[in-house]
Amino acid sequence: MYNSQLSDLFKAQLTQDEFDKLSRFIYKESGIKMPPVKKIMLQSRLHKRLRELSMSTFKEYIDYVFSKEGLNNEIIHMLDVVSTNKTDFFREPVHFDFLSDYVLPENMAMRQGYCNLKIWSAGCSTGEEPYTIAIVLSDFAEKNPRFDFTIVGTDISTQVLQKAIDGIYKEDRVSIIPMQIKRKYFLRSKDRTNPTVKVAPILRAKVKFGRLNFMDPYYDITDSFDVIFCRNVLIYFDRETQEKVINKLCTKLRSGGYFFLGHSESIMNMEVPLKQIKPTIFQRE
């Protein structure tokens, strides 16, 4: 019976009308663009939801998504499988060098005495970015006893947020990290058949995770941040949505605070309260 259902599932094809309806809905709910070339990708990713809901056609699935129950329960699951979550430890290292060499000393000098730096990793995926930030800031704090910090990581996907909270990664995911840092901030699993590492409690205690949708009319975060990382997320949005998101993020960034974008992103010709310091590094006006 199960094999028969599975066979029927993989015969399920997404029609153009069904794709158009879903792509408009996904854009409205998350800002993620679904151009026609992504039809096969969307079909493939949603097969998982059809299987879990014991559905054999996309018509069944779409009817459910737009039902009262589906609108309440399915949107988060659909966005989980649709959103792309590609990240690495110390990705785009020039940003972490700038953080260590300029941002941290500047803030210590500016706040003579005690400095508690607040950083937001917006679109944190599975946690590699906020944990990398925590490593850089922890090393700085060791040499500067009157320095402390808090990090907030947010993402639209509950699945990747759970992975970030767990802080467990395949061992090859940390291969780029120098051995002395790995020994200091990661715990190696004893199971050598499935080699993994876990982020040490000292780092995990400094990062708080929560779900946030960039399409929300306002961001329910009370903190004002000194630094915001929003890297390689806006590339999935159109230009108008990018500008709106950046402006909403900037309402949570203090004047003089720093804003980091991904290497393929820019604010060119946008009406946003940021001035460029270096490529992909900006400061709040």
List the one residue out of 208, 224, 218 whose CA is nearest residue 256.
224
Nearest to 121 by CA among 209, 188, 49, 200: 209
Please give the pLDDT value at position 4: 46
Which of 70-79, 133-142, 170-179 is predicted most confidently? 133-142
pLDDT for 26 beyond 60: yes
Long-range CB pairs of 139-145 (<8 Å, 24+ gap) are 139/100, 140/100, 140/104, 144/104, 144/108, 144/115
Averaged pLDDT score across all residues of the chain: 90
Per DSSP, the residues of 131-142 read HHHHHHHHHHHH
Residue 87: its pLDDT value, please? 82
Per-residue pLDDT of 174-216, as tens digits, reads: 988 999 999 999 999 888 788 899 999 999 999 999 999 998 9
Q: What domains, with CATH codes, occur in the chain?
A: 2-82 (1.10.155.10), 94-284 (3.40.50.150)
The set of residues, in sequence order, having a beta carbon less than 8 Å from that of 280 and lying 6+ positions away, is 92, 95, 231, 260, 261, 262, 263, 265, 266
pLDDT (tens digit per residue) in 228-239: 999 988 888 889
208-to-30, 59, 73, 145 alpha-carbon distances in Å:
22, 39, 25, 22
Strands 186-188 and 196-199: antiparallel
Q: How many whole angstroms separate alpha carbon 185 and alpha carbon 200?
A: 5
Reported as a single tens digit per residue, the pLDDT across 219-274 is 989 889 999 999 988 888 889 999 999 999 999 999 999 999 999 899 999 999 99
Q: Which two tokens stand for residue 37?
A: 């070339």
